[in-house]
């Protein structure tokens, strides 16, 4: 039924006009904005009373597990819309994934909007509908929110903050410090797609290539992995800083080493090519729908099979193993036959001059 | 990936490594030390670390000495201060290649100037800067021109295009440097222990192979001009070691697919039209080297940021504890520097070699900080 409503909204003309400071002023104009755009996008029984807070029954939560997972993230991506997603889809997936990496079942999100004066209402509507569609796909509801408008120049079009809660099932103990020598390292697919798609979408490079962001919710995949192996040791989504950063975090927290085989890391040909031209390393590029898992060696094949049977994990691969030494360091066996330390970056990856 | 993977074939690499070690072994034994080969260019340093070449060769037979060929790394603090002072002018849009953003001056880097409100933008080509100038006629667009002969032609051609179009709000802050006087300065250094050179590939694409002859004729050192893929570097190394074994001393060209013997005539013409040699140029870690930099000729003065804006032009001494100079000359290894990894890290670089991933110290820090003593035992890799 919601999908049908989306269709209807898509058919009628996009709203004209732009966001003004009055839309954040707390008065009638703001009320109109909420009722016209936000309530229809997110409608659900917990949001419907439009109180200052959502009131969530505890009984439903405690039935699903024994711990509440609670997280927040703020999304400032530029451009706001890019191949494979937009800031709204990102704001739902990112927070859902942060919850899912604890093994939690994601349930409810908040939505805080910071809008720049002058933002087209049509764009706002597109982003909100995208959030609504993604939330439905991820089985979560947006149950509370807030909207602020800032003067032109004080923000870059729109920023979104989402906080989320979920429930962790009893017995699931995923933590960055649980990797043990002998465990195997698994990723769920090609790396670097999101990072490269954003670089290309900024249109500053005069490179033309079809790269679509991998932005997607991962809680379904995690549930399938947990069903195959309830004792998953570590799980993290490889967002900013990419695979290299996550592996270093695991190695440091667990006091173990890692040995990764470059030739087994999935990277699409287009992303490899773009990185080659731009002097970037795909292992440090951001992803928005990729996770890194450390699993006991004995369960690795079962987890891999479960992942490959799920749409978000069809290109999953074992990329390396946990070693006793060197503690806190990640060693990359290069496809060329050498090896080197795979460190974290000091700051942003900056392209090399020559 | 076609045209790249062919140059990264591990089987060919193993053959080359075996052959290099076979040739090097008797010479290393005779010398009582490993052969020392300098890769002049920062791009080669990057390849050596990124693909793990350093760990593929036995260190008692052969050592890479990382040369001065990272233009970002050899920029002295005073020049960075001048950059920052231009960038902080309200009318200026300051454009730069990405990895120059982090180079520390005495009052911070361009990245810090940007955070303080300067309009600093990263570009991939000087033409992007010229386009910005066209699109912002009310602003002054300054391009931070740096690099060896590799990047000089594109800056020269951009200035010529600006002149032809009559764009007047565009200028260069020129820090281009030349490679030959620098190699000569290294060869004249008394601490030198080098046995041979890997010559820079992209510089040679512009200047050709002839300018290197003095290295063989006057200093008796062999050189092979090398490409940037890992097999290029190994093959060039093999060529140099083979020359040493056969007691030959020549300029050989491994990078024939790119480097013509006579260089690139139109590129050299553009350089000659726009630039002239400076009497001397200051290098971080190496001090002042005669005729090692270029400036813009008088008739392009309106495109010269040094003439257009007053810059402090203060010479800032390198930090006392910093041993970049000795590393650059190959006298010490990066990790032997007193401040390596302690006072000087990629997060807070004290010396220039820690700034760019082409800098010997940053490459060491990022790719090789832990001596992989146990890499053999933990060497089995799944998949």
CB A235 within 8 A of CB A101: yes
CB A62 within 8 A of CB A154: no
Q: Render pLDDT for B300-333 as a digit per residue (tens, 0 to 9).
A: 999 999 999 988 888 888 788 888 878 877 778 8
**Domains of chain A from N-terminus onward:** 2-52+64-168 (3.30.1330.10), 176-341 (3.90.650.10)
Residue A204 to residue B56, Cβ atoms within 8 A:
no
> Chain A window 169-228: which residues touch B at a Cβ cutoff of 8 Å?
184, 204-205
Burial of B258: CB neighbours in 10 Å, binned 0-12, 13-18, 19+: middle
Question: Could you give the CA distance from residue B324 to residue A333 in angstroms, rounded to a whole number?
Answer: 30
| Radius of gyration for chain A, computed over Cα atoms and rounded to the nearest angstrom | 21
Instruction: Give every CB contact of residue B96 below 8 A, 6+ residues apart in sequence.
Output: B83, B110, B120, B121, B122, B123, B143, B144
* Assigned CATH class of B77-179+266-308: alpha beta
Q: What are phi and psi of A177, to 5 degrees?
A: -95, 10
Q: Which residues in chain B are closer than 8 Å to A339, comparing Cβ atoms?
A: 52, 55, 372, 375
pLDDT at B164: 97
Burial of B33: CB neighbours in 10 Å, binned 0-12, 13-18, 19+: middle
> Which among A261, A340, A353 has the least Cβ separation from residue B71?
A353
SS (H, E, C) chain A: CHHHHHHHHHHCCCCCCECCHHHHCCCHHHHHHHHHHHHHHHCCCCCCCCCCCCCCCHHHHHHHCCEEEEEEEEECCCCCEECCEEHHHHHHHHHHHHHHCCCCEEEEEEEEEEEECCCEHHHHHHHHHHHHHHHHHCCCEEEEEEEEEECCCCCCCEEEEEEEEEEECCCCCCCHHHCCCCCEEEECCCCCHHHHHHHHHCCCCCCCCCCCCCCCCCHHHHHHHHHHCCCCCEEEECCCCHHHHHHHHHHHHHCCEEEEEHHHCCCCHHHHHHHHHHCCCHHHCCCCCCEEEEECHHHHHHHHHHHHCCHHHCCCEEEEEEECCCCCCEEEECCCCCEEECCCCCCCCCCCCC
Q: Render pLDDT for A74-125 as a digit per residue (tens, 0 to 9).
A: 999 999 999 999 999 999 999 999 999 999 999 999 999 999 999 999 999 9
First to last CA, chain A: 55
pLDDT at A279: 81
Strand partners, B141: B93, B170
Question: Could you give the CA distance from residue A194 to residue A264 in angstroms, rounded to a whole number?
Answer: 20
Q: Which residues in chain A are closer than 8 Å to B111, comparing Cβ atoms?
A: 347
Q: Render pLDDT for B196-225 as a digit per residue (tens, 0 to 9).
A: 999 999 999 999 999 999 999 999 999 999
pLDDT at A352: 58
Please give the structure tokens belonging to residue A234: 């570590």
Residue B98 to residue A205, Cβ atoms within 8 A:
no
pLDDT at A280: 87
Q: Render pLDDT for A262-277 as a digit per residue (tens, 0 to 9).
A: 999 999 999 999 998 8
CB of B1 within 8 Å of any CB in chain A? yes
- In chain B, which residue's Cα lies nearest the Cα of A347? B347
Residue range A48-60: mean pLDDT, rounded: 92
Q: How far is A203 from chain B (nearest CA, A)?
A: 12
Whether pTM > 0.80 for this model: the answer is: yes
Say how many C-beta atoms besides its own lie within 10 A of residue B45's C-beta.
28
Q: Which residue has the tokens 């140059």?
A: B7
> Chain B window 295-324: which residues touch A at a Cβ cutoff of 8 Å?
none
pLDDT at A3 over 70: no
pLDDT at A2 over 80: no
SS (H, E, C) B235-265: HHHHHHHHHHHCCCCCEEECCCCCCCCCCCH
Residue A335 to residue B101, Cβ atoms within 8 A:
no
- In chain B, which residue's Cα lies nearest the Cα of A334? B51
| Nearest CA-CA partner of B42 in B125, B124, B150 | B150
Do B5-70+193-253 and B77-179+266-308 show the same overall fold?
yes
Q: Which of the four CATH numbers 3.90.1720.10, 3.40.30.10, 3.40.50.11750, 1.10.10.1100 does domain B5-70+193-253 have?
A: 3.40.50.11750
Question: Could you give the CA distance from residue B8 to residue B26 in angstroms, rounded to a whole number?
Answer: 28
Pairing mode, strands B275-277 and B294-296: antiparallel
Q: What is the ipTM of this complex?
A: 0.80
pLDDT at A4: 52
Compute the count of residue pairs across chains A and B with CB atoms less than 8 Å apart.
132
Please give the structure tokens belonging to residue B234: 């190994």
Q: Where are the domains of chain B?
A: 5-70+193-253, 77-179+266-308, 324-366
The segments of chain B whose pLDDT lies below 70 read 357, 368-383
Q: How far is A336 from chain B (nearest CA, A)?
A: 5
Question: Could you give the CA distance from residue A126 to residue A124 in angstroms, rounded to a whole number?
Answer: 5
């Amino acid at each position: 039924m919601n999908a049908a409503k989306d269709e209807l909204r898509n058919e009628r003309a996009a709203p004209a006009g732009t966001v003004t400071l009055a839309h954040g002023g707390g008065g009638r104009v703001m009320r109109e904005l909420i009722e016209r755009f936000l309530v229809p996008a997110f409608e659900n029984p917990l949001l419907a009373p439009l109180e200052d807070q959502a009131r969530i029954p505890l009984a439903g939560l405690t039935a699903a597990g024994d711990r509440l997972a609670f997280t927040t993230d703020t999304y400032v991506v530029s451009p706001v819309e890019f191949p494979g997603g937009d800031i709204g889809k990102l704001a739902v997936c990112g927070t859902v994934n942060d919850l899912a990496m604890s093994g939690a079942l994601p349930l409810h999100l908040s939505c805080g909007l910071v809008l720049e004066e002058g933002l087209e209402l049509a764009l706002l509507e597109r982003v909100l509908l995208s959030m609504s569609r993604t939330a439905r796909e991820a089985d979560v509801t947006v149950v509370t929110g807030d909207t602020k408008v800032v003067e032109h120049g004080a923000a870059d079009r729109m920023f979104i903050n989402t906080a989320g809660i979920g429930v962790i099932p009893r017995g699931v103990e995923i933590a960055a410090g649980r990797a043990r020598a002998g465990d195997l390292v698994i990723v769920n697919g090609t790396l670097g797609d999101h990072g490269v798609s954003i670089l290309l979408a900024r249109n500053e490079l005069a490179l033309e290539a079809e790269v679509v962001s991998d932005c997607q919710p991962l809680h379904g995949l995690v549930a399938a992995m947990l069903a195959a192996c309830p004792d998953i040791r570590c799980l993290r989504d490889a967002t900013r800083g990419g695979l290299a950063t996550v592996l270093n975090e695991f190695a440091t927290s667990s006091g173990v080493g890692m040995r990764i085989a470059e030739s087994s890391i999935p990277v699409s040909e287009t992303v490899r090519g773009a990185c080659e031209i731009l002097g970037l390393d795909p292992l440090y590029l951001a992803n928005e729908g990729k996770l890194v898992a450390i699993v006991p060696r004995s369960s690795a094949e079962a987890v891999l099979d479960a992942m490959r049977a799920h749409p978000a994990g069809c290109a999953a691969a074992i990329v390396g193993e946990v070693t006793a030494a060197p503690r806190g360091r990640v060693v990359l066996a290069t496809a060329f036959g050498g090896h080197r330390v795979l460190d974290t970056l000091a700051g942003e990856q900056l392209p090399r001059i020559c | 990936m076609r045209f790249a993977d062919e140059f990264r074939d591990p089987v060919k690499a193993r053959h080359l490594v075996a052959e290099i070690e076979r040739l090097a072994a008797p010479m290393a034994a005779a010398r009582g030390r490993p052969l020392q080969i300098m890769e002049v260019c920062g791009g080669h340093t990057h390849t050596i670390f990124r693909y793990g070449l350093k760990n593929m060769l036995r260190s008692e037979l052969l050592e890479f000495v990382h040369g001065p060929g990272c233009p970002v790394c050899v920029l002295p603090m005073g020049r960075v201060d001048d950059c920052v002072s231009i960038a902080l002018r309200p009318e200026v849009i300051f454009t730069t290649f990405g990895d120059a953003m982090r180079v520390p001056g005495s009052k911070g880097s361009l990245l810090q100037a940007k955070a303080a409100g300067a309009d600093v933008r990263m570009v991939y080509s000087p033409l992007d800067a010229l386009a910005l100038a066209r699109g912002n006629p009310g602003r002054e667009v300054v391009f931070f021109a740096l690099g060896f002969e590799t990047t000089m032609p594109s800056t020269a051609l951009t200035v010529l295009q600006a002149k032809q179009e009559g764009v007047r709000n565009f200028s260069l802050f020129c820090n281009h440097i030349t490679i030959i006087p620098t190699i000569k300065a290294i060869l004249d250094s008394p601490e030198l222990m080098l046995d041979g050179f890997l010559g820079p590939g992209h510089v040679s694409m512009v200047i050709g192979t002839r300018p290197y002859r003095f290295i063989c004729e006057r200093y008796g050192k062999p050189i092979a001009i090398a490409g940037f893929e890992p097999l290029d570097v190994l093959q060039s190394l093999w060529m140099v070691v083979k020359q040493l074994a056969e007691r030959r001393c020549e300029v050989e060209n491994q990078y024939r697919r790119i480097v013509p013997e006579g260089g690139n005539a139109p590129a050299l013409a553009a350089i000659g039209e726009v630039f002239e040699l400076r009497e001397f140029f200051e290098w971080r870690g190496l001090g002042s080297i005669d005729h090692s930099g270029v400036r813009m000729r008088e008739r392009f003065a309106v495109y010269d940021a040094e003439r257009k804006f007053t810059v402090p032009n203060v010479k800032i001494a390198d930090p006392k504890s910093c041993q970049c100079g000795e590393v650059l000359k190959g006298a010490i290894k990066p990790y032997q520097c007193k401040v390596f990894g302690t006072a000087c890290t990629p997060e807070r670089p004290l010396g220039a070699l820690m700034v760019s991933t082409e800098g010997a110290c940053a490459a060491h820090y990022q790719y090789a900080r832990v001596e992989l003593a146990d890499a053999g035992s933990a060497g089995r890799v799944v998949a």
